Structure 1
Amino acid sequence: MLNETAYAKINLALHVRSRRHDGYHELETLFAFVDAGDVLIARVADQDRVTTTGEFASGIEKPFDNLVAKALAVLPRSQGLDITLEKNLPVAAGLGGGSADAGAVFRLVEQSHGLPDDWQKRAAKLGADVPSCVRSEMVIGRGTGTELEPVENDLAGTPVLLVNPRVPLSTGPVFKAWDQTDRGALPTGTARQIAENGRNDLEPPAFTLCPAIPEVLAVLGETKVWLTRMSGSGATCFALFDSIEDRDAAASHIETEHPQWWKLAGKLR
C-alpha cells in the first residue's frame, strides 16, 4: 500500500501579463505548497480504479473524469492502481486541488513503477498547475504556469492559514473578467521578497464575482498576519504568520466570528 499527500497549492503572487492567442493567459507566479491537503492511498490492482471519500467528495461528480483518473491514464505501467482519494480540499477554490491530486498520482506511480522521461509534458497536458504539483516545491512559474524556475525558498516552515468562504469560484469566469491590463513583471529576489512585493492580478475580478473574498481578507487582516492574499483565481485566501501561536490565534478568531468558513492550518513546504 502506498500513501501520498496532495499538498494544497497557493500562489504567493500571481501576475497576469497578457492574453495569449490560444485563449490562455501569460502568467508569472510564485507557487508554494502547504504541508497538508488531500490524501491518496493506492494499492496494486488488475486495473485502475478511483474511489473518492472525504468532506468534498461530492464536488467531484464523475470519479473517472477527475484528474486522478486522467493522470493514471497518461502514465504507462505494467499494473493497475486502485486509488482512494480523501478529498479534504474544497473544489474550485484556487488551491489547485485537482492538480495536486494529479501530482500525487505521479509520485505514487514513480514509487511503484518510475516515471517516463517525458513526464513533464504528460503533466502539462493535464493542466497548467500539474507540473509544479508533481514535486510540490516552491518554484516560479511562467508561460501558462508550466515553465518552472527555481527560487530561493526562505519561507519554508512559515505558519500559514487557508480560509475559504465555502463559495466555489470557477477559474474561467475570473480570467474572463480580468481587465487585460499588464501591471508589470513578477518581482525578483527570494520567495519572501517576491511575496511581499508581488500581487494577485485576479483579485479585482474575483472580488466582483465573489464579494465574500474581500470579507475573508478583511477578517484575516484583523489578526497578527504579515501577508494575506487571495490564492489563484479564488475563493481561498491565505495568511502568513511569524509564529504558530499567531496562526492558531487567527484560526480561533475565524472559528468564533465565521464558523461556517472552511479553514486549514499548516506550514509552507
Structure 2
Amino acid sequence: MAPGPFVRADRGRCRADTPEAGDRPDPRAGRRGRRERNPVTGASAFAPAKINLALHVTGRREDGYHLLDSLVVFADIGDRLHFSAAEGIELQVMGPRAAGVPTGPENLVLRAAALFGPGQSARITLEKHLPRAAGIGGGSADAAAALKGLAEFWDLPLPKTEEILALGADLPVCLAGCPTRMRGIGELLEEVPPLPLLWVVLANPGVAVPTGAVFGGLGTIAGTPMDPPNWTDFASFSRWLRAQRNDLQRPAQMIAAEIGTARAALEAQPGCALARMSGSGATCFGLFAVEAEARQAARAIGAEHPGWWVAAARVL
C-alpha cells in the first residue's frame, strides 16, 4: 500500500529551521528569514532535536510497518548543516558528536541529496551536536534540514512525498518542524493546539539501543491511540501528557537498564513534571515549566553522571 500524503505545517509558530549559531538560537536574528543565504558562502539550515513526548504503537501493517500515534515536538538544540559550491556531492562531518557518524552513501544526508537527481553539486558540512541513534531524530532531522537547505541552495522543489518517506518514518514530521500529532507510519500529520512554554532536560546515558530490537520486544500489539489533545496551560498539558505513554519504553529498558536510571535521575529533579523516554531510546526527557529549574537540573545530572550527554532546551 502506497503511503498517503503528509502535511507540512507552514505557519510561523511551526517553523524550526531557524538561523542558530552552532546548536543554539541567535537572538540577533529576531523573526527574520529562517535560513541564511549568501552568494559566496552558500546556505545553512538548523536540524533541531525531535522529541516524542508520547508514542503509542497502535498496530502493525501487513508489510511489517508499525502504526504509531505520537506527539512530536522540537527543541532549540540540534545539529547544523552548511552548503557551499563544490564539484559533485561532498559530505564533511565535524563537531563534538561527529565520531562514528558515517560519511558514505548510507548517511541520510547524502541519501536526501540524491533524491534531487543526478547532476547536482554541493559541499555539505554537518556539525553534529546531538548523539547519534539516540531516539531524538538526529539522522532524520539532519536529512530534513538537508532537503530544505538544498532545495533553496539549488532553487529546486522538494522531492516527491513517497521518496521522502522512504528515507524514514520521521522525515515528514521533521520537515514540518512544529508540535505535531504524527500517525500512521509517519505520513499522517496534524497540528495540535498551541503548547504552553515548555522546557526539557534531555539525558542520554550513552548506551546503544537498536530500534529493531526495541520494536521486536513489543510482543502482542493492541495499543490504544492517544487521547485527543486538550490543554490550555502547563498544568493541564502535563496532566494530559501523564495519561499518555511511550509503548517502546518497556522493551527498550529491558535492553538497556540505564534508561531507567536516566528517567529516575530526571524525576528526582525539582520542578520535573514528567520523565519519559523519547522515541526508541535511549534519550529520556524531563518536562519543566521554568527555565532556571531545567538548567539547574541539567547541571546536577551532568555532575552526577559525567559520562552522559545532558542538555537543557526550550521546546520550539
TM exceeds 0.5?
A: yes
Note the 1:251-266 alignment, pairs <5 A: 251-266=298-313
Q: Match for residue 188 of structure 1?
A: 228
Distance in 2 between residues matched to 1:259 and 1:98, nearest whole Å? 25
Gaps of 5+ in 1: none
Task: Kindly indicate whether the alpha-carbon contact (under 8 Å) linking 2:59 and 2:223 is maintained by their aligned counterparts in 1.
Answer: no
Gaps of 5+ in 2: 1-41, 232-236
Q: Confirm whether residue 53 of structure 1 aligns to residue 99 of structure 2.
A: no
Segment of structure 1 superposing worse, 142-151 or 115-124: 115-124
| Change in 2 beyond 3 A, CA 1:43/1:245 | same
Deviation at 1:119, TM superposition (A): 3.7
Match of 2:57 among 2, 12, 16: 16
Q: Confirm whether residue 113 of structure 1 aligns to residue 154 of structure 2.
A: yes
Q: Match for residue 145 of structure 1?
A: 186
Q: How many residues are paired up?
A: 268
Structural RMSD (CA): 1.8
List per-residue Cα deviations over 1:162-214 (Å, max 9, x = no partner): 10001121211000001223231111124736533211001110110000001
Task: Kindly indicate whether the alpha-carbon contact (under 8 Å) linking 2:151 and 2:158 is maintained by their aligned counterparts in 1.
Answer: no
Amino acid at match of 2:207: V
Runs of 4+ in 1 over 6 A off after TM superposition: none
Q: Match for residue 208 of structure 2?
A: 168
Deviation at 1:228, TM superposition (A): 1.4
Q: Match for residue 235 of structure 1?
A: 282
Q: Match for residue 131 of structure 1?
A: 172
Greater helix share, 1 or 2? 1
Identity of aligned residues (%): 39
SS of the residue aligned with 1:64? coil
Task: Kindly indicate whether the alpha-carbon contact (under 8 Å) linking 1:153 and 1:190 is maintained by their aligned counterparts in 2.
Answer: no
Deviation at 1:112, TM superposition (A): 2.2
- Give the TM-score of the pair, scaled to structure 1: 0.93
Q: Match for residue 250 of structure 1?
A: 297
Distance in 1 between residues matched to 2:226 and 2:123, nearest whole Å? 41
Task: Kindly indicate whether the alpha-carbon contact (under 8 Å) linking 1:102 and 1:130 is maintained by their aligned counterparts in 2.
Answer: yes
Q: Confirm whether residue 213 of structure 1 aligns to residue 259 of structure 2.
A: yes
Distance in 2 between residues matched to 1:182 and 1:253, nearest whole Å? 39
Amino acid at match of 2:298: A
Task: Kindly indicate whether the alpha-carbon contact (under 8 Å) linking 2:92 and 2:103 is maintained by their aligned counterparts in 1.
Answer: no
SS of the residue aligned with 1:186? coil
Task: Kindly indicate whether the alpha-carbon contact (under 8 Å) linking 2:115 and 2:159 is maintained by their aligned counterparts in 1.
Answer: no
Task: Kindly indicate whether the alpha-carbon contact (under 8 Å) linking 2:200 and 2:315 is maintained by their aligned counterparts in 1.
Answer: yes
Task: Kindly indicate whether the alpha-carbon contact (under 8 Å) linking 1:100 and 1:130 is maintained by their aligned counterparts in 2.
Answer: yes
Note the 1:55-70 alignment, pairs <5 A: 55-70=96-111
Segment of structure 1 superposing worse, 38-47 or 183-192: 183-192
Q: Confirm whether residue 93 of structure 1 aligns to residue 107 of structure 2.
A: no
Task: Kindly indicate whether the alpha-carbon contact (under 8 Å) linking 2:70 and 2:183 is maintained by their aligned counterparts in 1.
Answer: yes
Distance in 2 between residues matched to 1:114 and 1:129, nearest whole Å? 24
SS of the residue aligned with 2:68? strand
